[in-house]
Chain A
Amino acid sequence: MEAWKQILKETWHFYRKTLSLVFRGGTAYYLWCLFLLCFIFIGFIFYLKQHDLGLIETNMTDQVSWGLYIANFTYLVGMAAAAVLLVIPAYIYQFKPIKEIVVLGELFAASSIVMAILFVMVDLGRLDRFWHMIPFIGSMNFPQSLLAWDVLVLNGYLFLNLLIPIYLLVTFYYRKTPNWKFILPFILLSIPTAVGIHTVTAFLYNGLAARPFWNASILAPRFLASALCSGPAIMIIIFQIIRKVSVIDVEDEALFKIAELIAYAMFLNLFLLAAEFFKEYYSDTVHIAPFKYLFEGLHGHTQLVPWIWTAMTMNVTAFILFLIPSTRKRLSTLNLGCVFIIIGVWIEKGPGFVVPGFVPDPLGEIYVYMPNLLELMVSFGIWATGLLIFTLLMKVALPIEAGVFSHSEYEKGMSPPPPLH
């Protein structure tokens, strides 16, 4: 009885503390949350319109039947998969500066997966029939359909990326050392799963013989390489924000190490793209059409050309910046490179990857797709949702990591935690 009371009291302590952490912050924190909530609200209103009237409210058609939503989905799966880049050095090589921040990277992966799943949900015409895909309850076409695979691995990866950081944070909360025998298998499992989610997502496109642009075996490795650029790049930025607004210290050394790894990944990404370029342009078959549409325009349609060359310029510039130690180890050029990679890879494997798969379509028709306002607003809304989830997770996780939010037993006699800005 007494024990139960204690547990209830402790649970209450945890929730009360969590809520006060989430609801209290500096002006910047409130403004940031308000900013995100505005976008979430606007996105939701636009989504309701789409839900009501159908996908006709988007600019997608039977010719280009996937657009901005699926482009964002593809990009975000890569973001999430990239957490593995932090997991490997942290747990396998025990590289200390990264190990301290890996929990944050995993929570970012979880937020990315939530965004990716939301992008699939808004793209689904019949959200009300989503249950048809649930194994045993509906009738999932497993193992034939790669989309069924994707649902399984994405949810599995989401589970791992919540389990691992939450377990570690709870042990920190109780000031205990983690039971590595319990959690390490999950950590190790998360590495192949990260590769898995991105490989499966690549295969989803790769397996379609109807779409020569996607039907290239180089796709999965290219996906992985570009993911290992964009995911860590956004984390370098996030870590700098975290060390500014919290007591957590992220060493420069960790950021530079991540940037170095990005440089290798970007080299691989550019090399694989070059390999595709050579094959398409040297053999010069009819299958080159989508490539031409993307890089030089097809029959006078050049809508994607400025986008892809912007992306190429950004990726190459970032690669050079991260390759040279002096620019990699200066925060201004490091951040510039990160921004370039985040945008460059988004263009390259988001719209620059999804749209040319549909242009020209299997009967040779060219439909010029550009997302409309509704698609943009719904997409911004989802990004805002993911960032809000991540912000709130950080608001609780950072004090635990810093040791200022823990079991009440340890808080006795401690000065109240410094306010977070």
Chain B
Amino acid sequence: MSLPLFSSCTKEEKEDFLQKHFKEMTPDEVKRVIAKLEERYLRKYGKKFQIATQDALPGTLWGYGLDLSRCIGCRKCVYACAKENNNSRRHPQLHWIRVIRLKKGSLINLENSEHYYDPPLVPEKEYLYLPVQCQHCEHPPCVKVCPVHATWKEPDGLVVVDYNWCIGCRYCIAACPYKGRVFNWADPTIPPEEVNTAVHYLGNRPRMKSSVDKCTYCIQRVRTGRYPACVEACPTGTRKFGNLLDPNSEIRYIIQNKRVFRLKEDLNTEPKFYYFFEA
């Protein structure tokens, strides 16, 4: 490239600028981009990264179950998520999971929800806790409104973002009924000693300033047969996860045998995130 416009940029900046949409790259281009990223992360965090680009496993459609009668509102999932997914820690502190506290007696009207509850001890008698994250809708409004196809639904149902393609218009944040998306208002801050080096290109690789990110059900884990980090971190067994297409999966058992509901079903977004009560 010898366009005068780029004459003052480094080769790397030029490449970044011209980088294609992830889905339009040839396998060779993907390899080059991964190599470039791994080198960059090594420079920044002093660690060797493994950036996966693994495709969806055939015959999978991921679904989530959450037992509201078990959740004690401890937010262990929130912090495990941030750590697993290389979220910006401070200024801004970005969380993909929000646990909101509701007064018992109301579940649908979230207007009296408390987002920053901070009692010495949880659970509290008169409250229940509602963890919310990306619901991986079958009809995701965020995907519909994105002006540049920077976010899409993968064959296994995961809604992902190409962080290098997002233009930062934040239309998806306005469109999401679940507050499932967060914006990198500044360059993410991750202490190098806490950085997670096992990442997926469409998931938890460290992001950059001014792009949108979100929960991916831990795409880097679930496509290799592991549970999402929040499922593993939960001390009460509130969180369940599985393949909706597998009749013997735990999530299918829950849908069959529990009284499940989904958040804001009236909006027709068809979330793949099922809330239920054990007792």
Contact = CB atoms under 8 A, between A and B. Distances in A.
B94, B98, B112, B171 — most chain A CB neighbours (10 Å): B171
Interface in A199-214: 204-205, 207-211
Given A208-B141, A363-B113, A151 B147 contact: yes
Nearest to B113: A364
A244 B109 CA distance: 58
A363 B144 contact: no
A365 interface: yes
A110 B165 CA distance: 30
Interface string B143-156: 01111111000000
B184 to A, nearest CB: 7
Interface of B, secondary structure class, is: loop
Contacts of B169: 120, 123-125, 147
A418 B136 CA distance: 68
B193 to A, nearest CB: 24
Contact of B177 (A120, A138, A151, A209): A209
B5 to A, nearest CB: 11
Contact of A55 (B132, B183, B268): B183
B232 interface: no
A132 B173 contact: no
B149 A62 contact: no
B167 A145 contact: no
A3 interface: no
B185 interface: yes
A233 interface: no
A56 B92 contact: yes
B148 A138 contact: yes
A362 B109 contact: no
Nearest to B111: A364
B111 A126 contact: no
Nearest to B171: A147
Contacts of B178: 362-363
Nearest to B91: A56
B146, B174, B177 — most chain A CB neighbours (10 Å): B174
Interface of B: 17, 21, 24, 91-92, 94, 98, 100, 109-113, 115, 132, 141, 144-150, 165-171, 173-179, 181-187, 209-211, 267-268
28 contacts: A54-B187, A55-B183, A55-B185, A56-B186, A62-B173, A62-B181, A62-B182, A66-B170, A124-B168, A125-B166, A125-B183, A129-B148, A129-B165, A132-B165, A133-B148, A140-B147, A145-B144, A145-B146, A151-B147, A205-B174, A208-B141, A208-B145, A208-B175, A210-B176, A211-B174, A289-B111, A360-B111, A364-B113
Given A54-B210, A141-B149, 19 more contacts: A55-B168, A62-B182, A65-B173, A120-B169, A125-B209, A126-B166, A133-B147, A139-B21, A141-B147, A141-B148, A144-B144, A145-B171, A147-B145, A147-B147, A208-B145, A286-B111, A360-B110, A362-B179, A364-B110
